[in-house]
Structure 1
């Protein structure tokens, strides 16, 4: 019975997420008046997150779209009802953040994480002492690189995020949802290179990622079906330096004669990837 109710709720949000208009969510969230109403709505968002994350949806694109829709609704809860809508035992915002795989959406959502941190509670210890879990989620989403046991990086990375200027969260997320759908319509035109996944130095994992030229004649990092646009920042001899568009940490990919490395903002090499054959 509970699963049936959740699937009905999932069908509803699917129909809503096809329309890029914040008003479709604002009305229902503005109508929440009592503490019981708010608590029940948070529970719905929690349940939607879980069935999306557990892949009870019909494909990756649909799951990604629902994930962003979840984030939009959470953002509107804060924007309409104020930061007091968040209670210290509420795990929904951090689950939204960790279960989203579209990097720009996580950047847009960061002010919500900041608001949760001000309230305290579960955000302080979920997945390890703050900011370990959200930084790990962000690093994996953008670079597929793990920050495990790299606590010395946390303060610098957190400062970059906290010093950034952000637009209105819900509006930005709606725009990014449309961008994500547009990217899904592109087709691979050329494969520039393919490398083994390596989230931690010298530890290869199953699978590969690619740099590809898509049908819009733009280069992207492609991990499974997800695309991140690459921006050229420097060219020298046979070496190209790229950054992922809107990436948060200032890290760079260096491509030289088929060899690819990920370098941090201080010029230190994080990973030298092995070519996938």
Structure 2
């Protein structure tokens, strides 16, 4: 896991609006959105894995602020026991919040205060996450289909016209529900909703030997209306690297055929 130095982040943000930095931002030709969804089960393997996931998102937040702050970024925690509201609680007034989900950041253009709020949150994650968010009981499994519904609703009600929207689900659990359960089938059915909305779903494994076969292979191909044979297991480490760099995300979006073949970004 890369080392996180909050003082370096604050120094970087302090100069983020300098004239030189503004001139480096790429020209903006369309509104894009990425909604991060972090599985609270990451804490069960040790807080280090959760911190690694949050550190990837930290890098994406800072990069997004410096490179293209007009895009929308949001953050949800899934499979939580508690659902504390975000600072901007009124942003959820028209959103149906399911159990076992918590919205940390509604879809917003990145600003320096938003990124600083996230950095402050990261400073206490190691000791506070379990108490503030916890893990869904009894087995760490919230309703995957309701989580996807929440993501769709947040994207639809973000108040902006989106040219491209991604849901990045960061997890180390290979299937959200037992394969013989009704919840498993309900989760698969939500893939058609994503395909109909043209929202891209991507699973970002926090383990290198992630098994897509029990659930995510079928879910991803259904959500993109492609054949199962078109799916190839991607490199998990590469996906994590891409996730931290919004400019690479945009480049991958420009080549949808490549994304369909590898099954992710």
TM-score (norm 1): 0.34
Considering fraction of residues, name the structure with more strand.
1
Bigger RCO (CA 8 Å, 6+ sep): 2
Q: Which entry has the higher C-alpha Rg, 1 or 2?
A: 1
